[in-house]
């Protein structure tokens, strides 16, 4: 064996024992809270990817979309065929289109009621609260209500929260926080959002 191969083999063995140690230490099993935040693209995409993953094993999944009600969404179209997926959508669309705080608040509360129902259902393995961070920012929902529902949820249930500027209480509660960092976005060079890619 060449020196290079020996060194590579030793490095791999060291890496393997390091990974094995860490796997051995991860013994707790329960549902988790994941937050996908930051300004870069990919938060909602990652949430739908996880939805697909859970549905792939036959688990029941609930997705609650705050804000984007009137938007097309390819994953929703495709996965809606699965009877194990439930989707609730806040129907008013973007707030700067409706410009009606009262109506927005009501729409938010109505869809939040769906979220609360899902968060109380032990049969639901994964719940996605897509873009809920803005509801907290705009004051349509209060953080104490959301914190309470998350804290009381069934132990086996995983929740994914997406959206920019996640409330610090959500970050503090989360088991996993991923911040999507924008390095560049096509939109800023004048490229239009693309069907089947961006939505």
Residues serving a catalytic function are 39, 41, 43-45, 53, 94, 96, 131
How many CA atoms are closer than 13 Å to the CA of 12, on its beta-carbon side?
6
Q: Does 53 bind ligand ATP (CB under 6 A)?
A: no
Give the span between the Cα atoms of 1 and 174, in whole angstroms: 47
- Which of 15, 152, 185, 191 is close enough to bind ligand ATP by CB under 6 A? 185
> Residues binding ligand ATP: what is the number (CB under 6 A)?
17
Residue 64 CB, shortest distance to ligand ATP, in Å, is 14
Q: What are the strands of the beta sheet with 33-37, ordered from one edge? A: 85-89, 60-65, 124-130, 158-162, 33-37, 176-179
Q: Does 55 bind ligand ATP (CB under 6 A)?
A: no
Which of these segments, 39-47, 99-107, 135-143, 167-175, binds ligand ATP (CB under 6 A)? 39-47
Q: Is 191 helix (H, G, I), strand (E, B) or coil?
A: coil
**133: buried, middle or exposed (CB in 10 Å: 19+, 13-18, 0-12)?**
buried
Residue 177 binds which entry of Mg ion, ligand ATP, none, with Cβ cut-offs from 5 to 8 Å by kind?
none
Q: Render the burial of 48-64: b for 16+ CB within 10 Å, e for the rest.
A: bebbeebbeeebbbbbb
Other CB atoms within 10 Å distance of the CB of residue 29: 7
Nearer to ligand ATP, 91 or 191 (CB): 191
Q: Residue 122, Cα to own-chain centre: how many angstroms?
A: 19
Question: What are φ and ψ of residue 179, in 5° steps?
Answer: -105, 115
Which of these segments, 23-31, 44-52, 96-104, 146-154, binds Mg ion (CB under 5 A)? 44-52
Q: Does 43 bind Mg ion (CB under 5 A)?
A: yes
Structure token digits, residue 176: 């996993």
**What mask, x for binding ligand ATP by CB under 6 A, covers residues 112 to 131?**
-------------------x
Q: Does 65 bind Mg ion (CB under 5 A)?
A: no
Q: Does 44 bind Mg ion (CB under 5 A)?
A: yes
Q: Which residues bind Mg ion (CB under 5 A)?
A: 43-44
Q: Which residues bind ligand ATP (CB under 6 A)?
A: 39-45, 131, 162, 164, 180, 182, 185, 187, 193, 198-199
């Amino acid at each position: 064996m060449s020196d290079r191969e020996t060194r590579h083999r030793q490095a791999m063995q060291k890496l393997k024992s390091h990974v094995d140690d860490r796997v051995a230490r991860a013994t707790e099993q329960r549902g988790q809270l994941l937050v996908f935040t930051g300004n870069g693209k990919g938060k909602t995409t990652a949430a739908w990817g996880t939805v697909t993953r859970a549905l792939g094993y036959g688990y029941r999944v609930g997705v609650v979309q705050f804000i984007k009600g009137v938007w097309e969404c390819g994953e929703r179209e495709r996965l809606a065929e699965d009877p194990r997926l439930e989707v609730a959508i806040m129907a008013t669309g973007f707030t700067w289109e409706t410009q009606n705080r009262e109506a927005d608040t009501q729409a938010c509360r109505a869809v939040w009621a769906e979220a609360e129902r899902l968060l109380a259902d032990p049969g639901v393995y994964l719940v996605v609260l897509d873009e809920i961070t803005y509801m907290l920012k705009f004051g349509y929902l209060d953080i104490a209500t959301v914190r309470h529902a998350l804290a009381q949820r069934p132990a086996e249930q995983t929740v994914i929260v997406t959206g920019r500027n996640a409330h610090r209480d959500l970050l503090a509660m989360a088991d996993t926080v991923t911040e999507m960092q924008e390095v560049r976005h096509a939109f800023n060079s004048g490229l239009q959002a693309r069907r089947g890619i961006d939505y």
